[in-house]
Amino acid sequence: MLKPRALDHVGLKVTDMDKSLRFSNPDFAASPTGDDPPGLDHFCLEVESASIDELLAALARAGIAVAKSPVKRSDGISLFVADPDGCRVELIVKDRTSL
């Protein structure tokens, strides 16, 4: 069973990066994600899982296809799936030993 532990982050697409950064936090640094229309790019859930292999097995059992293969991040390993409406969902298994 897939159990979310926490909302890790949300990725947004905006029309004016500078304006959006000033609105959210003047000291925040981010990079543009491209020329896509504004809206939600994706959201990331940290999931309770002993390993990325365990997560992959749980997704397979649930019939959920992996849209982007696992990649190593500084804080764990993540992958992407799509929800029933096509929204990109990133799932991360955090490296709990480094926390």
81 beta partners: 66, 89
Identify the CATH number of the domain in which residue 77 sits. Answer: 3.10.180.10
The tokens describing 6, both together, are: 């926490």
Range of the domain at 89: 4-12+41-98
Coil/strand/helix, residue 92: strand
Does 64 reside within a domain?
yes
pTM: 0.75
The tokens describing 21, both together, are: 């950064």
Does 90 reside within a domain?
yes
Cα gap 44→90, rounded to integer Å: 4
Q: Would you call 12 exposed, middle or buried from its count of C-beta atoms within 10 A (0-12, 13-18, 19+)?
A: middle
* pLDDT digits 0-9 by tens, 21-65: 777 665 655 555 566 677 788 999 999 988 999 999 999 999 999
Say if residues 3 and 47 touch (Cβ distance below 8 Å). yes
Residue 46 pLDDT:
94
